[in-house]
């Protein structure tokens, strides 16, 4: 007589076929359990992902710091322009600009322009009206180009959005224990770094447009430390994105490029 077969499902949802009797049932259960969680990443790979994510977090921190500060560029008059004991300079970022009045006696005698901004003095800061009424700002009789300033700010915000999406992908990859989310995370971080660098280039063009709008007051300009933070963030984010691409590969590129020599005789 033919044995009666039945389908047995183990606790992990895997299907096992067993015949009548204990031997077939136990064999189906063991074969199902032997296939558990073979897709889970190793502890070594998980540690490498966390290290690469730490590198990306450094870039995110620098980007947030640079975006929130108003030291992207410094515009300085000649320290003897007004002919009195004070001089004026300006510094601004994506969202806000400041006019500082400094004492000429505090400035380095070898410096011809007013500044730097770290010297003590009076400060008057205002937010730009690009994002509310759409008005241009006037700094030392020079008018900003709101289209370029808006483009730089939008690219920076898009970059920040891509950073958040990349961080979510890495968090899901670590929580689920699967490398599937590494590729979208790498795309997000690389695109974020590229957008950051484009934002700096467009911002620099906006500064040049500001300076060329009026030539009645000569100004000395230089990009400040906020741009250094944002530029470093862009480079770090791109580097972190490439690290995630390498970690998402099913093989180790180092073993492919530098295979171990077989020492066995």
Q: Is the omega angle on the peptide bond into residue 116 within 30 degrees of 0, that is, cis? A: yes
pLDDT given for residue 217 in this prediction: 82
Gap between the Cα atoms of 54 and 70, Å rounded: 26
Task: Check: pTM over 0.85? Answer yes or no.
Answer: no
184-237 residue pLDDT tens: 999 999 999 999 999 999 999 999 999 998 888 888 889 999 999 999 999 999
Contact 164, 191 (CB under 8 A): no
Mean pLDDT, range 85-100, rounded to an integer: 91
Give the residue from 44, 50, 45, 54 showing the smallest Cα distance to 237: 54
Gap between the Cα atoms of 18 and 34, Å rounded: 16
37-49 residue pLDDT tens: 445 667 777 888 8
Gap between the Cα atoms of 131 and 3, Å rounded: 78
Q: Domains in the chain, start-ordered, CATH in brackets?
A: 43-251 (1.20.140.150)
Mean pLDDT, range 68-91, rounded to an integer: 88
pLDDT given for residue 48 in this prediction: 87
Lowest mean pLDDT among 44-48, 102-106, 109-113, 255-259: 255-259
């Amino acid at each position: 007589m033919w044995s009666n077969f039945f389908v047995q499902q183990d606790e992990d949802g895997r299907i096992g076929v067993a015949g009548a009797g204990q031997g077939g049932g136990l064999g189906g259960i063991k074969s199902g359990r032997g296939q558990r969680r073979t897709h889970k990443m190793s502890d070594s790979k998980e540690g490498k992902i966390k290290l690469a994510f730490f590198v990306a977090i450094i870039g995110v921190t620098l980007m947030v710091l640079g975006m929130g500060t108003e030291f992207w560029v410094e515009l300085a008059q000649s320290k003897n322009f007004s002919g009195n004991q004070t001089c004026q300079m300006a510094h601004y970022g994506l969202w806000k600009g400041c006019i500082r009045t400094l004492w000429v006696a505090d400035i380095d005698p070898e410096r011809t322009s007013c500044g730097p901004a770290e010297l003590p003095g009076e400060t008057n800061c205002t937010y730009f009206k690009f994002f509310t009424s759409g008005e241009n700002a006037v700094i030392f009789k020079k008018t900003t180009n709101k289209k370029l300033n808006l483009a730089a700010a939008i690219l920076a915000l898009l970059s920040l959005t891509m950073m958040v999406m990349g961080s979510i992908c890495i968090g899901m990859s670590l929580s689920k224990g699967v490398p599937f989310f590494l590729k979208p995370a790498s795309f997000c971080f690389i695109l974020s770094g590229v957008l950051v660098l484009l934002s700096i280039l467009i911002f620099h063009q906006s500064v040049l447009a500001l300076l060329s709008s009026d030539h009645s007051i000569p100004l000395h300009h230089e990009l400040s430390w906020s741009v250094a933070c944002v530029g470093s963030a862009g480079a770090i984010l791109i580097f972190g994105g490439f690290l995630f691409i390498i970690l998402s590969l099913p093989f180790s590129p180092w073993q492919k490029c530098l295979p171990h020599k077989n020492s066995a005789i």
